[in-house]
A and B are shown apart, each in its own frame.
Chain A
């Protein structure tokens, strides 16, 4: 990535170079947003809706995210679908740290957002994925419909398109 880091400095000096820079930005962001590869990280009931999203009716492959990889080193999107318990929380962190930058997280379902129906009277549930790792998009529902998850992915794509290499992502 050394060339990419030197590119803004070089291009700003050339007259008309800013146009080239924004185009490079758009090209990079567009390519990242259109091929988000998710991690197979289904924990509980929301995982079934995630699998249904990948199936034939609500095809997630048309958004570029059809390739679910099992290893965190090979993917850039982590969809936390399901309840995080205390026993599982260290593994969530370990998997997040193994992913390479740029990486994004979608918290799918009420349990991943804030603990869901297990907030009260429960001794073993972590109330929300944001207590462990930074989250980009929250998709509410218990479980959210597959269309909801697809809308969440579209919102994440919009968020990625606004990123820029000049400001340091």
Chain B
């Protein structure tokens, strides 16, 4: 007897994308309800990297906590340092000198390029381009890590910024090495685009997949390139400028559709804009002190401060409450990936399971700042 297609009964089953999985970008667990190959629902379980940073902050002085901020979003440690140090400075009423501001912007924008290279490389790897785009991206990133090593001695967790300035001055030949890197990087980025952006397989796997409407994105507090790919022009560097960003001339790339390809393209364009900012900053680097006059043991007045910056993943905020002591009374870290990944539940309904991996890769999350 021939079996007709409509006679076959299917049942929903639960698949566990465990905490250890090559494409979950860290220790993330997804419980996926599948009907055949179509996702009906996804439950996101986090907390496998919860290292209680907020409780540790209550028992450390303000300066002692700076190395812990490196380990939050470990792909963009300079941005985390920057956000925390700016929040403490606005609480204490300190302003960093101009040379320190320029050095901070140069290192943060270099870190943005390094983080986006990693993000687009792993996104392409998730879609099946097994190692080539990732190795291209990591090759350029190694140049940036060499520059960081020359200025602060570390490759990944920099601990570079201090309250009131930066800890080390630029070494001899710093400007030359940055100009050499930028001249090397521009054609390499075009090479990368030639390999990936208009590739037919890449287009089929990422165009019209995971479309995020702008009002849903705002309602879920999504920020960063994910929000700008959906058409909302919100970049904290332009909206609430901090630390001298208003002096530099750069565009904020915005795209209309909000699918995975747009999120990838926004990151590529942001790398080009970061190159522009670094060029202007290194040309205009002023001489002077790198550290304001601050006491060695910082005691803050009672009060609170909330400061936000634009990290490569979105809006990173630090909320500090102090009762007039050497330690913060409460420190809340608002990590952008925490809100970015919550929207996956909406985007995953009704897609095939391979597209679920593509959407997760295009959201570019780091578990360190989700779990803190």
Report if A and B associate in a common complex.
yes
Q: B-contacting residues of A (Cβ < 8 Å)?
A: 39-45, 47-49, 51-52, 55-57, 68, 70, 82-83, 85, 87-88, 91, 95, 117-118, 120-125, 142-143, 145
Q: A40-B22, A44-B71, A57-B139 known; A121 and B59 CB under 8 Å? A: yes
Which residues of chain B have C-beta atoms less than 8 A from A42's C-beta?
Answer: 26
- Quick one: CB contact mask for B40-65 with A, threshold 8 Å, 1 for yes? 00000001111110011011000000
Complex CA–CA separation, A120 to B56 (angstroms): 8
Stretch at the interface among B13-21, B168-176, B178-186, B267-275: B13-21
| Inter-chain contacts of B50 with A (CB < 8 A) | 85, 87, 124
CA distance A59 to B51 in the complex (A): 31
Q: Can you report 25 residue pairs joining A to B where beta carbons are below 8 Å apart?
A: A43-B26, A43-B27, A45-B368, A48-B74, A48-B75, A48-B118, A48-B156, A49-B156, A51-B138, A55-B135, A55-B138, A55-B139, A70-B21, A85-B48, A85-B49, A87-B47, A87-B48, A87-B50, A91-B18, A91-B20, A118-B52, A121-B56, A122-B55, A123-B55, A124-B52
Binary interface encoding of chain B residues 98-140 relative to chain A, with 1 for a CB under 8 A from any of its CBs, else 0:
0000000000000000000010000000000000001100110
Q: Is the CB of B52 within 8 A of A122?
A: yes
Choose among A41, A85, A118 the residue that contacts B56 (Cβ–Cβ < 8 A). Answer: A118
A49 to chain B, nearest CB (A): 6
A44 in contact with B67 (CB, 8 Å): no
Residue in chain A with minimal CB distance to B68: A117
Q: Which of chain B's residues 272-314 have a Cβ closer than 8 Å to chain A?
A: none
Closest partner residue, chain A, to B155 (CB atom): A145
Contacts of A87 in B (CB 8 A): 47-48, 50
User: Would B27 and A117 count as touching, CB distance under 8 A?
Assistant: no
Q: Is B340 an interface residue (CB 8 A)?
A: no
Query: Does the CB pair B139–A56 fall under 8 Å?
Result: yes
Return chain A residues, CB-CB under 8 Å to B141: 52
Q: What would 13 more interface pairs be, CB under 8 Å, given A55-B139, A56-B139? A: A43-B26, A44-B367, A45-B157, A52-B142, A56-B138, A70-B21, A70-B22, A85-B49, A87-B50, A88-B48, A91-B19, A95-B20, A121-B55
Shortest C-beta distance, A82 to chain B (Å), equals 8
B55:A44 contact, CB within 8 angstroms: no
Which B residues touch A56, using CB under 8 A? 135, 138-139, 142
Give every chain A residue within 8 A of B59 (Cβ-Cβ).
Answer: 120-121
Question: In the complex, A155→B56 CA distance in Å?
Answer: 35
Shortest CB-to-CB span from B353 to chain A, Å, is 16
A87 to B371, CA, bound (A): 12
Measured between beta carbons, the chain A residues less than 8 angstroms from B58 are 121
| A123 and B155 form a contact (CB under 8 A) | no
In whole Å, how far is A121's beta carbon from the nearest beta carbon of chain B? 5
Q: B150-166: contact bitstring with A at CB < 8 Å (1 yes, 0 no)?
A: 00000111000000000
Inter-subunit contact B71/A45 (CB<8 Å): yes
Q: What residues on A are CB-neighbors of B47 within 8 Å?
A: 85, 87
Determine whether the beta carbon of B157 is less than 8 Å from that of A143: yes
How far does the alpha carbon of A53 sit from the alpha carbon of B368 in the complex, in Å?
20
CA–CA, A149 and B29, complex, Å: 27
* Given known A44-B367, A44-B368, A83-B51, contact A117–B138 (CB-CB < 8 A): no
Once the chains are docked, how many angstroms separate the CA of A43 from the CA of B71?
12
The verdict on A117 contacting B67 (CB below 8 Å), with A44-B367, A45-B74 known, is yes
In the complex, chain B residues whose CB is within 8 Å of the CB of A145? 155
Choose among B18, B22, B139 the residue with the greatest number of A CB atoms under 10 Å from its CB: B22
CB distance from A94 to the nearest CB of B (A): 9
Chain A residues with CB below 8 A from B75, complex form: 48
Interchain CA distance A142-B19 in the complex, whole Å: 23
> Smallest CB-CB separation from A45: which chain B residue?
B74
Closest approach, in angstroms, between the C-beta of B349 and any C-beta of chain A? 26
Q: How far is the CA of A78 from the CA of B75 in the complex (A)?
A: 23
What is the CB-to-nearest-CB distance from B84 to chain A, in angstroms, rounded to a whole number? 15
Complexed CA–CA distance, A91 and B24 (Å)? 15
Among A41, A55, A125, contact of B20 (Cβ-Cβ < 8 Å): A41
Which A residue's beta carbon lies closest to that of B67? A117
Contact partners of B52 in chain A: CB under 8 A: 118, 121-125
Considering only CB atoms, which chain B residue lies closest to A70 in the complex?
B22
Distance between A157 CB and nearest chain B CB, rounded to angstroms: 24
